[in-house]
Amino acid sequence: MDDPEILALLPAIEQQMDSPETPFVAEALERLLTHEDINDEEAKYMLAFCLADELEKMASEGREFSLNRYQTLVGFLPVLPE
C-alpha cells in the first residue's frame, strides 16, 4: 500500500464518498469494512486502486472516464482488478 500514484488518489476517494454522483463509493467502503481483515486505510486504498485502473484505461484507450466501468470495478472489491 505504498504506490504513490494510488496514494495521490485518496483525496479523490474522500470526495467521492460524499458526492451524490458516486454513492457506490461510500457503499463499497462500508461493505469492505465488514471484513474483519480490512481496515479503513486498506479499504480506501482498494477504492483508489480501482479509480487508478479506470484512469489508466481511459488514458490508454483515449476515451472519456467511464463511471459505469469504475462502479463495476468497485463492485468486485475486495478482489482487485489485474
Structural domain boundaries in the chain: 4-76
Per-residue pLDDT at 21: 94
Per-residue pLDDT at 51: 97
- All three cell numbers of 26, joined, read 461510500
Could you tell me the CA-to-CA distances from 24 to 1, 5, 60, 63 in Å, in that order? 22, 22, 25, 22
Mean pLDDT by 10 residues, the chain (82 residues): 89 97 97 96 96 96 97 93 65
Peptide bond into 11 cis (omega under 30): no
Per-residue pLDDT at 80: 74
Alpha carbons within 13 A on the beta-carbon side of 1? 12
Residues 6+ away with beta carbon under 8 Å from 43: 28, 29, 32, 33
